[in-house]
Amino acid sequence: MAVKSKFLNGKQINPKPIEPDASVVELVESYFQAYNAGRLGEACRLFASKYLENSVTIGMSITGALTPAGLGGSCIVPLMKAGFVDWIVSTGANLYHDTHFAIGHKLHKGSPFIDDRLLRKEGVIRIYDILFDYDVLLSTDAFYRKVITLPEFQKTMSTAEFHNLVGKYVLEREKALGIKNTSVLSAAYQFGVPIYTSSPGDSSIGMNVAEKQIAGNQLNFDPLLDVNETSSIVLSGKRSGGKSGVLIFGGGSPKNFMLQTEPQIQEVLGIPEKGHDYFIQITDARPDTGGLSGATPSEAVSWGKIDPDQLPDTVVAYLDSTVAMPILTSYALAKRRPRKLKRLIDKREENMELLKREYFKVRSKRKYAV
């Protein structure tokens, strides 16, 4: 009998019928067998095993209109509560639309095929197949304009500090309205998860901050502080003997902002490091167009973003985040007990001191020191 090829050592494809009461765990482990179902299965298993060791610091980036689709409360909040996400980079739009639910507004399922001219006449906003009243925007704008004029906002700050302060007031509004477990911002405040926005002016939150600045409000964002704070999170996690895992939904600026922490540490600051240890991305973007959204983890190795020795612990699944996120969340919550919260929002100054110490230690030894 011929020797069996080493390439045929994988688990056999099993076409057994799906049971009527199959759980998400059973679907992932027994029925997600090939193509992007196979990749999502690999992502779920990698996340629930290596990522969720206590020593791993987990960053998540989110793009696309995920919170309007309910994924903030249904997925991101449970992940934070369980200690499965330690820090976040998000578009401002996701945080703005997250706030609608927390202050008592309703978004509705609809059709993507309605005449948008009719919607405009009736004051209805459409995000593909999600519909809501135009007043939802005006009310949310008013909420932010009121909050950001409070005394504690009258200074320059990182977006993480800003979102933490906002989260306190979002939580107060939720409690007043009897709303529970819906808001990413209020949950991040409660569980100590810092949230950064890579382009703080590129959303309705930033637009309202800009409007109040014209009127003399002193709130200002420091994006350079964000660059260093996020890098300090990764460095601190590594220097404490742990590892760094990134969980990327979509791509765009938040993906780059999360991954650039390693080039910032290695290339710019000159601190010896090797890259993120674990990488999971859910994307619908192709790699061959040259955009960052579709760039693979192997390409990221060339930039120092991913540790080359950890490439086997990277997965890219090409599918919709609104499909993948609930499955991965359900699988992880079923497979692992909650981790102790890292509360990185409380360690910003401590982490920055570590970053500064290491930077000044090596600064004079850099190849192109100036």
Q: Sketch out the chain's domains with CATH numbers.
A: 35-362 (3.40.910.10)
pLDDT band at 222 (very low <50, low <70, confident <90, very high): very high
Quick one: average pLDDT of 85-90? 98
Task: Calculate what percentage of the chain has a pLDDT beyond 70.
Answer: 91
pLDDT of residue 11: 87
- Residue 87: strand pairing partners: 59
pLDDT band at 2 (very low <50, low <70, confident <90, very high): low
Nearest by Cα to 231 from 59, 49, 7? 59
Q: Which position among 146, 305, 335, 365 bears the catalytic label?
A: 305
Q: Kindly list the strands in the beta sheet with 124-127, ordered across the sheet, starting from the edge strand earlier in the chain.
A: 108-109, 130-133, 124-127
pLDDT of residue 368: 67
pLDDT of residue 294: 66
Name the residue with tokens 């692992």. 336
Quick one: average pLDDT of 59-63? 97
**292 against 238, higher pLDDT:** 238
Active site residue 305: yes
pLDDT of residue 292: 61
Quick one: average pLDDT of 92-116? 96
Mean pLDDT taken over the chain: 93
The answer on pLDDT for 291 being more than 70 is no
Contact 110, 146 (CB under 8 A): no
pLDDT of residue 320: 94
pTM to 2 decimals? Answer: 0.93
The answer on pLDDT for 363 being more than 90 is no
pLDDT band at 1 (very low <50, low <70, confident <90, very high): low
Residue range 233-245, pLDDT digits in tens: 999 999 999 999 9
